Amino acid sequence: MKNLPHLVPSTTFSGRPGPLLLIIMDGVGLGKHDDSNAVFLAKTPFLDSLKTHPLYTKLKAHGKAVGMPTDLDMGNSEVGHNALGAGRVFDQGASLVQKAFDSKSIFHGSTWKKVIQNCIEKQSVLHFIGLLSDGNVHSHINHLKSMINQAVQENIKTIRCHILLDGRDVPNETALDYVSQIDSLSEMLQEKADIKIASGGGRMITTMDRYDADWSIVERGWNAHVLGDADPFNCVKDAIDNAYENKISDQFIRPFVIVENNKPIGPINDGDSVIFTNFRGDRSVEIAQAFEDADFNHFNRTRRPDVCFAGMMQYDGDLNIPKQYLVNPPQISNPISHYLCGTKIPSFAISETQKYGHVTYFWNGNCSDYIDKNLETYVEIPSDKCPIEEKPEMKAFEITDKTIELLQSNQFKFGRVNFPNGDMVGHTGDIPAVIKSVEVTDNCVERLVKAVNDLNGITIILADHGNADEMYTIKNNKKIIKTAHSLNLVPFWIIDADYQQEYIINQNIHGGLSNVASTICHLLGYNPPPDYNSSLILFDH
């Protein structure tokens, strides 16, 4: 293990005898006090009791405050946990990729040249697979259009697009808006290249699984994109219209292939090049493994074509997935876990499968392994595989029980826990289910705070971004269900049972998630690293 930095003890505050617990209420932001806000509608007696708490402030969790290109870009759990763990703001996937397209450096890199040259030499097909929307959380359609244009300029003659439909980071039933953009581009370039959408499916059941939660999702994508084996349609519009007629939303549209003369128009074959266009890592790793791993046992691939495969970014630097990528990922140096381990502070991280990687991989600066296994304990509670809205409590009670067990073991000085409910259920658009999910979270947070108080410790409660706080918008006098993250501020509380006004919230800084790491250092009794963003608390007052 490399030499790790350490923290310097504070001469002002030595912390509390008990542990410091950070509770992340994923997707529970601060919205309007009306019926668009499931957090407001939910019965949350514990969170309500904190409304006048003295150690409270609101944090930015979107836009430039978490490394996104503009303040119109929503935050997400990936960048939120990066900012929480890093203590500083780093340009994130969306920003890095956009800069690479703006400067056109992406097209001068060795990976792009290799992908193109492979098609030229073998007179083969260039395939693009990825989420088709402008949500800018996992991908952006403008990147796909830019790559199509550039490939045609470089004399690529056949391009096939394999589209994953969103309805999650963008409004539902907008899939055809994005399909029409690709169709228009194809028509404009038809004299130079044959460009078609070859397959697709809704993102929640096709290709974009994460954290090994359900490999059948990747298998369905593989069958459609690679083997050309899925529901056949003559055009994309027919596939989407058929789903809408059956009350199926964009993100759950069954995998489909486009056929001509009853044959799929774009299966992926030996010699082809494939680019996975998503830049966010969590839902990209598994499909990359399916293309790259020779020793693969998650499902029967039937055949594994010999292709030149590349990702938009490297999705896991520790595991080198994928081996080739177009844009270098953010280099996050010395996240707070490095300092905690270097200072010999024992810690734990816990969530269920859906957010386990967020309190480990993303929190640790995109590092998938332990920093020091002797000092860290990671606990993954396996997620259910039923529709989330059918069980909005998810694994919150199991997470709570295990966290209390960890706390009461007296082995840990710091712990972090993520309750996925507000975000994961929020993405379904099922408002009654979202309300239930927030109520469960409130109950579980209260239990954890009591456990920490009993141990003479401190609890921090916050959210990594909004979602459940904005469940619909009004457009043209019509209520439109909203499943995407919000741009709202998020709450931040410090619950300290032994509080004697030794410190106060610094209301003079307009804080964001990146200010939390320094605050953790202070509450543990240490000075924050000098290059970290300012702490949210003040001692000299």
As annotated, the active-site residues are 77
What would the 3-class secondary structure string for 217-253 be? Answer: HHHHHHHHHCCCCCEEECCHHHHHHHHHHCCCCHHHC
Cβ–Cβ under 8 Å, residues 417 and 403: yes
- Reading the block at residue 488, the tokens are 């709202």
Q: Give the other-Cβ count within 10 Å of 271's Cβ.
A: 16
For residue 406, the SS3 value is helix
* Contact by Cβ (8 Å): 250, 172: yes
Cα–Cα dist 34/114, whole Å: 53
| DSSP secondary structure string for all residues of 17-60 | SS-EEEEEETT-----SSTT-HHHHS--HHHHHTTT-SSEEEEB
Q: At what angle do helices 141-153 and 175-188 cross, to 10 degrees?
A: 10
What is the dihedral sign for C-alpha 445, 539, 64, 333? negative
Following DSSP, what letter does each residue of 1-26 receive, concatenated? ------PEEPSS----SS-EEEEEET
Handedness of CA 277, 281, 282, 284 (dihedral sign): positive
Q: For residues 372 and 243, what is the distance between their CA atoms, to the nearest angstrom?
A: 48
Backbone angles phi, psi at 398, to 5 degrees: -65, -40
In whole angstroms, give the CA distance from residue 56 to residue 407: 24
Residues 39, 437: contact at Cβ < 8 Å? Answer: no
d(CA 14, CA 380) in angstroms, rounded, equals 31
β-bridge mates for residue 458, sequence order: 20, 496
What would the two tokens of residue 31 be? 């919205």
Beta strands in 281-342 (DSSP E): 308-313, 325-327
Up-side HSE of residue 135: CA atoms within 13 Å toward CB? 29
Residue 381 to residue 403: CA distance in whole angstroms = 11
Nearest-angstrom CA–CA distance, 177 and 187: 16
Number of H helices, E strands in the chain: 16, 22
Which amino acid, residue 308?
Answer: C
Distances (CA, A) of 364 to 3, 78, 332, 517: 16, 11, 9, 12
